[in-house]
Amino acid sequence: MAGAFAGKVVAVTGGGRGIGRAIAQAFAAESAKVVIGARTPSYADEAVAAIARAGGTVVMIENDISRETDCQTLVATAVERFGGLDILVHAAADIPNGGIDATDEAIRRGFDSIVMAAFWLTRAARPHLAKSGEGRIITIGSICGPTTMVLGRMAYGVCKSALDAFVRGAALELASEGITVNSIEPGMIASARPVANMGIDVINAIGARSPVGRAGTSDEIAHATLFLASPGSGFITGTSIVADGGSTISNSDTPIKLADHQKSSAASR
């Protein structure tokens, strides 16, 4: 993709750490001009420093995308500093824990930061992305909700399912304006927040159960984002790339059971 993003303006929510940071760094490495939105400045400062050391162009603003005005400010900053906006990546989320008993406050904050933020960001970015001629909106979803469900994460899954519906609906509405809308739905990724919450040993153990045999990396999600943002992806819209190491297409016990069955069948012949 060498040169594909030179001079392009990219806004990334949640760009301070984890997947968002990897995405911001990947675009900057491809000569894009990047605006990072982050709720925690200390994380974002590290990301900005890393991009600057590598010779990239980046601006950071402190913002909370569960507020409409902050979403508008992120887009406005990109336009004011770099003259427009070509690519919008929504990677931030306030993850609501819990199932049916999750608190209303947690559910609302999760919904605002995941789903309403997608509406607010898109409304603000739409005229600028349309002017770009190759406007791209990419959300970071999850397999939790659209494809599978995790005990204790029902509230999160519901929000991510709604985000999946947003992607398809927005793609339909914005196609005539030259804007594509797609999503990446990661499985278990060894990024900063899961590592902090669960520990790397637990993440590696879960990842080992997938057909690929490991957890994914933030850089791999960033690479998929670059693909969906590239000029060559203009015929792809309203869909999701599932990046889960094959975990949703295979019961982790199936290969073992099948292998045992094959051994038994061979012995009986």
Q: Which residues carry out catalysis?
A: 156
- Longest Cα pair distance anywhere in the chain, in angstroms? 75
Q: Which residues contact 248 (CB under 8 A, 6 or more apart)?
A: 143, 147, 148, 187, 242
Tokens, residue 234 = 């203009």
Torsion angle in degrees (nearest 10) through CA of 224, 230, 232, 238: 60
- Angle separating helix axes 154-174 and 117-132, nearest 10 degrees: 30
Q: How far apart, in whole angstroms, are the C-alpha atoms of residue 124 and residue 268?
A: 67
Apex 136 CA angle, 174 and 59, nearest 5: 130
